[in-house]
Amino acid sequence: MADRIVRAISTDGMVQAAAICSRDLTERARQIHKTLPVATAALGRALAAASMMGNALKSDGASLTLQFKGGGPLGTVLAVSDNEGYVRGYVTNPHTDLPLRPDGKLDVGGAVGHEGTLTVIKDLHMKEPYVGTIDLLGGEIAEDVAGYFVESEQIPTACALGVLVDRDQSVKSAGGYLIQLMPGAGEDTIAKVEGGVMAAGPVSAILEQNDDPEALLRTVMSDFDLKILETCPVSYKCYCSRQRVERALISLGKSELEQMLAEQGGCQLTCQFCDAVYDFSADDLRALIAGL
């Protein structure tokens, strides 16, 4: 099934939830960045979370960034979503390779690192973006995202994210869910959410059986009557363009560009989010300089 997000609310109005199936966009990220399995899993989890969180921002042109800096061998894990849930991202060291954990799972926490921060940037196209930073809880991504909501937004949240990497290193399944209590939800609601999360088990196993995000939500929230609000297609999407790269070059200033022209002739820039390469010949650089 194509990647998509499903949003739902319990009919009693106490719980809102989103679930995502993100296999294709995670596989696309793997191909662009040539990530090894533990990096695929870390980036895939971050992309899934960013997509669900970005999709929740309804204002046009808004964006959401998740930045994990955990001090581990992966370096920074960055994921950016637009307000529809279309995402892009990267990790600093995509070829990080770590032994599996004793339980046979990929050691995402060890690769991200445990000592550091998660920063969430919501750019709603107002004057200043909203920036919230928390200390990482373990670098496994999902619990850190839940921790962010509890600490920074005071919203009790359950989050699960999973990426299953196949033997040939391609992405077999990916996705997750975000379940949040609405104001006024009581202990009984919390107990029902926690019970559902425990009973459902690991999210990547559920998605491997059935990659339908609505089915995932109905499994985890089987104790609730759910009203499905919307289903949104999502994918890996970069917004780079030759025009944007030109603007970045121009922002370097005239002397920097003249030096580049003198020393290298032209220049070649690769987008950090996708595999696009932008070539600027000596003539292109001269034209940019002339326009300054």
Give contact residues for Zn ion (rule: CB under 5 A). 238, 240, 271, 273-274, 276
Q: How far is the CB of 86 from Zn ion (least distance, A)?
A: 12
Q: How far is the CB of 271 from Zn ion (least distance, A)?
A: 3
Q: Which is nearer to Zn ion, 226 or 276 (CB)?
A: 276
Q: Which is nearer to Zn ion, 10 or 67 (CB)?
A: 67
Q: How far is the CB of 268 from Zn ion (least distance, A)?
A: 14
Q: Which is nearer to Zn ion, 63 or 219 (CB)?
A: 63
Give, in order, the Cα–Cα distances in Å from 257 to each of 4, 19, 36, 127, 148: 43, 46, 36, 31, 41
Q: Which is nearer to Zn ion, 17 or 271 (CB)?
A: 271
CA pair distance 18, 14, nearest whole angstrom = 14
203 class by beta-carbon count within 10 Å (0-12 exposed, 13-18 middle, 19+ buried)? buried
CA pair distance 91, 89, nearest whole angstrom = 7
Q: How far is the CB of 210 from Zn ion (least distance, A)?
A: 32
Q: Are 258 and 289 in contact (CB under 8 A)?
A: yes
Q: Of 138, 173, 148, which Cα lies nearest the Cα of 40? A: 173
Q: Are 196 and 8 in contact (CB under 8 A)?
A: no
Q: Which is nearer to Zn ion, 148 or 278 (CB)?
A: 278
Beta strands of 201-249 (E only): which ranges? 226-233
Q: How far is the CB of 64 from Zn ion (least distance, A)?
A: 18
